[in-house]
Amino acid sequence: MSNISPIAPALAVFSLPTAGEFRTWTATALAALELTPTALARELDLGKNSIQQFLAGPSQDIRLGNAARIHASLVAQARARGVALPPVVAHD
């Protein structure tokens, strides 16, 4: 008899969007809200060019914490303005 028991039953695994998928969503959200990357970066107390650099191309990456802050801010602003944003979708 084993003393080992499963910690939890099978858990659903959720996937995060790739940097490219999040880049596309961020650009779409900024356009829908008529915001510049620099204005959003200042609002979130990020480097003034950090979002613009991320949007610049596929060789640019972003920290998960910053992506979460960007997403939360854009979604909150969209709700406040009554703007519908597409969901961030991760393709498997």
Report pLDDT for 2.
Answer: 53
Q: Look at residue 24 and tell me if it is in a domain.
A: yes
Q: Are 40 and 74 in contact (CB under 8 A)?
A: yes
Domain count, the chain: 1
Neighbours of 16 (CB within 10 A): 11
25-41 b/e (C-beta count within 10 Å ≥ 16 → b): bbeebbebbebebeebb
Q: Which domain holds residue 64?
A: 19-81
Q: Give the pLDDT of the chain (92 residues) as one tens digit per residue.
A: 455 545 545 545 567 899 999 999 999 999 999 999 999 999 999 999 999 999 998 899 999 999 999 999 999 999 999 999 999 887 76
Q: Are 64 and 23 in contact (CB under 8 A)?
A: no
Report pLDDT for 11.
Answer: 46
Q: Look at residue 13 and tell me if it is in a domain.
A: no
Neighbours of 68 (CB within 10 A): 11
What pTM did the predictor assign? 0.81
Q: Look at residue 3 and tell me if it is in a domain.
A: no
Q: Look at residue 60 and tell me if it is in a domain.
A: yes
Q: Look at residue 67 and tell me if it is in a domain.
A: yes
